[in-house]
Structure 1
């Protein structure tokens, strides 16, 4: 209860009709540009609850609850986008520049639609009236704000800073959006097999073709009836950003791509190398990256803008650790991997971190580049062997027959000949439930004459595109990168669309959606990591 109150109590200007809903934030009327320094200081107040000199702000609700610092920050309830949210019976209204400071005359193609869009519920705020409301808890019409809305004792300078930032919040359309088009990019790391790259791009081409074909009729539907949804009729334009060379050069390549054509968001993407350079680029550019297909996400870094399907091969290692701890007796487990393989080394390190100490001893067997590998994997007296090798590497080896052997589904999606008795650890299920779930995607692919193959890439690429499509629909014409992330965060929990993962869920500010692994031969998943929330 305390957490719920703390979040809701930060809802600046919560009730009493103080603001209009998100659909009203469509009037992109220019506002006076504030000083950069003041807006930056105001952003710290808005997002973190900290003033220029590092002092935590303080807010007091009508019910006496005192909040400080992060808990008192506007973004706690109005979200980083400024478009608000809802939790139970409480609705947090938008406080973007267009919602606060504009006289929002409805923009409509006909009187009928103008009537449905409604009229402004109050005059626009200015700096003085905003300051009075924040300090007194009384809106411009003389009505008290909601009881959970704090009253802020901000100084005149701090109020100017906050107002300066609010004048920028959602006011100009972000880069990558113009009057006609909205631009997206998908990023592909070096070394991705041609078959996986082709599978991804075939789904992109078909989805965008369908999307843009439907958009052609939307203006006519709007003028003919009461269409409020998808009022932002933009053509989707996609760009393929193919990276080259070693990771230390990817940041500059991404910057060159972006400077040549800014995009609104990155969607899906492929790569089995460390996603950290792309993650850092997204944070630096404040650019959403929605559901990339990567085995090495940078999920431990500060994260506002990248939503991952899972922790990739790290999830497999953490789930396997929990499985081993719950099923094996005391003893030693040997994990086998090839030195110099980043994926295998990351998985081995994660398993070592996640295994509880005291019950199971974990030993490493590191294979070199010798074409004549060791004949025996593991050691005499082991209770299990964990193998972090791909199918090609496994083909020249033989498992130890007397102990359980675990293989990584990320590295070896199917056990090669001779390894059929091994246990496969995977990030998604198999069997009838999986077949039923992906059947809809197979039908979609078949209807568009997209060849079979690389099904995991196809299913999750379509899911990522569909998530962005749903978010853009609900966004109407309130283009905001932060709002896009917030909508995807919400929609992942409620969509009926299929992905390879049977369970996807995101809490507030969480950025990793899947937390289960499956061990072949078992019907129930193993719950592994719970992703850390973003800042």
Structure 2
């Protein structure tokens, strides 16, 4: 009927008008947020207006978002952390906006596996039941420091001056944070890869792989025993049976030049995604591999590499023992700047490619900072003949630093040329060929930049690891490499133990940061520790002299140098 159609049309118009009138109110109460803008606020403390957000902490200390961004405490995964007696809980969407009681297993790390002051235990064990968050509750929490149950946050939690748009944006981002289990893990297995470069020494690679295979076999036997008899430990291991996975190892061997590695890695990953890469042996630059790891958000845990990705590595997905040759070059510069007598003529020779060029640049830059009045003569050479000619021009040098591309050829040329420089400095990788090649007169004037531990360094865990290796009849033919490999595997093991079944890659890296300083050092370095976002566990180096009369062939002659 025409009249009924008119009435229906009028009712629709009225309803539309009411809805449009409500839009501003709805937007203020819980508007749809922009997850990308929320991520910028979470990571950088930048609000919707493009300016740093502001707030207060400890009651009256004014701060900006750049100083106290969310990621600093709640971490990239959103799972939080515990530090200095303070507990930062998970704030992922599944936890905040879920009306169900949070999984108590997620407190396992804080409750049972951390050394904390008594006050921490009291706070963590207090029952903190609360309703699920909504837009209004989240706004109150961020602005006033009160959760939906009326509990007030600790004073260290900032109270931020946020707009409704900021609150909506951060809520939208938190709903996406750690919302899907990472690739490389299924209900039964967790997949790991190790990367071996084309120039890796076959014997060294074999020693590394044998260590990994025995570790994987050990882990899987333990998993099999517990999963087949889960009730032998009621109210403990059986509660965590969902966390158990069998470890599967994939060996990713690369060939060809570095600019082809990315395509090879992508093909291998497409064939079988892995949760992380562990250890590895790469002689060339890590750059292409590092870019792959960052782009795939794939943890690459403690590879054996002398040319890590340049830079600070802040929040990257590759975690290294140290900065490699660049660290050694900078430590040498600081060592020379620390001497009582000023250096006279300083000459550095470097071979082609990044193995020679990168430490040469780092050494020149370090010398310019600490000894700006001492010029550094830098000479590049292409081959043994070029090195011989360059060495002939260093007769009057007080300091000669050599950064070779081909270590064996360079040491043989150095031995034959026998330069008369007062002090000769070599990178740590030169130790074995130098001991085997250099004549006594040259050896006496030669020093190494040594980023590893002293010969008499004591680490209790080293003896336990060696016992593990010997009990499995593992040939320890490359001690440092195999101990470093074991350490990388231990980091993977402990991170999974803490994660329970929260298989998120960012979370794995955060636990590794936390665990690195917990006395798991296998004895390869004086100290191994990582802070939030740090990616180099050892920060310095010694200067060592060659000592063929000692068991290990070297003797430390300086303090620990941290550039």
* Worse overlay, 308-317 or 279-288: 279-288
Check the 8 A contact 2:137/2:148 in 1, yes or no.
Answer: yes
Higher helix share: 2
Q: Mark the runs of 5 or more structure 1 residues left unpaired by the alignment.
A: 1-34, 110-115, 531-535
Per-residue deviation, 1:310: 0.5
Identify which of 518, 526, 529 aligns with 1:505: 529
2:327, 2:558 → 1: CA distance?
12
For 1:469 and 1:56, the matched residues in 2 are separated by: 39
Q: What secondary structure sits across from 2:267 in the alignment? A: helix
Once the 2 structures are TM-superposed, how far is the Cα of residue 357 of structure 1 from its aligned partner? 3.1
How far has the Cα of 1:220 moved from its partner?
Answer: 5.1
Query: What SS does structure 2 have at the residue aligned with 1:198?
Result: helix
1:83-482 equivalence runs, <5 A: 83-104=79-100, 121-219=129-227, 222-224=230-232, 225-227=234-236, 231=241, 232-300=243-311, 303-304=314-315, 305-327=317-339, 328-338=341-351, 340-355=352-367, 356-369=370-383, 371=385, 373-374=388-389, 376-389=391-404, 390-396=407-413, 397-401=416-420, 403-415=422-434, 416-418=437-439, 419-421=442-444, 422-433=446-457, 438-482=462-506
Relative to structure 1, is the Cα distance of residues 417 and 483 closer, same or farther in structure 2, using a 3 angstrom cutoff? same
Alpha-carbon distance between aligned partners in 1 of 2:267 and 2:127, rounded to the nearest angstrom:
44
Distance 1:37 1:313, change over 3 A: farther
Partner Cα separation in structure 1 for residue 395 and residue 557 of structure 2: 31
Aligned to 2:401, what secondary structure does the other structure show? strand
Q: Distance in 2 between matches of 1:154 and 1:402?
A: 64
Maintained 8 Å contact 2:319/2:535? yes
Specify the SS of the correspondent of 2:274.
coil
Partner of 1:424, secondary structure, is strand
**3-state SS in 1 of match to 2:359:** helix
Gaps of 5+ in 2: 1-30, 106-111, 113-124, 546-554
Matches within 5 A, 1:22-61: 38-52=34-48, 54-61=50-57
The counterpart of 2:515, out of the listed 481, 491, 504, is 491
What are the Cα deviations for residues 485-509 of structure 1, in whole angstroms up to 9, with x where unaligned?
Answer: 1111111111234142122122232
Question: Secondary structure of 2:482's partner?
Answer: helix
Q: Following the alignment from structure 2 to structure 1, what is the Cα–Cα distance between the partners of residues 258 and 214? A: 30
> Match of 1:433, SS?
coil
**1-structure distance, mates of 2:419, 2:197:** 35
- 2:37 and 2:48 in contact (8 A); partners too: yes
Q: Output the CA distance in 2 between the equivalents of 1:296 and 1:312.
A: 6
Aligned equivalents of 2:327, 2:98: Cα separation in 1: 47
TM-score where L is the length of structure 1: 0.83
Task: Go from structure 1 to structure 2 and tell me whether the alpha carbon gap of 1:252 and 1:119 turns closer, same or farther (over 3 Å shift).
Answer: farther
- Tell me the distance in 2 between the aligned counterparts of 1:118 and 1:479: 27
Cα deviations by residue, 1:444-497 (Å, 9 ceiling, x for unpaired): 322222223222221111111111111111122222212211111111111234
Q: Distance in 1 between matches of 2:531 and 2:235?
A: 34
Q: State the TM-score, normalized to the length of structure 2.
A: 0.79
Q: What is the CA-CA distance between 1:108 and the residue it aligns to?
A: 10
Partner Cα distance (1:449, 1:379) in 2: 49
Distance 1:301 1:527 in 2: 20
Q: Deviations over 1:210-254 (max 9, x none)?
A: 011101122356433122585401111121222222222222222
Q: Helix, strand or coil: the match of 1:360? A: coil
Q: Which has the larger radius of gyration?
A: 2
Q: How does 1:3-82 map to 2 (within 5 A)?
A: 38-52=34-48, 54-61=50-57, 63-82=59-78
Question: How far off its partner does 1:59 sit?
Answer: 2.7
Q: Deviations over 1:327-365 (max 9, x none)?
A: 343411222233x24212222221111112345332234
Distance 1:502-1:146 versus aligned 2 partners, 3 A rule:
closer
Secondary structure in structure 2 of the residue aligned to 1:500: coil
Instruction: Give a deviation string over 1:107-132, Cα, whole Å, max 9, x none.
Output: 799xxxxxx99987223223343233
8 A contact 1:221–1:227 mirrored in 2: no
- Contact kept in structure 2, 1:318 and 1:528, CA below 8 Å: no
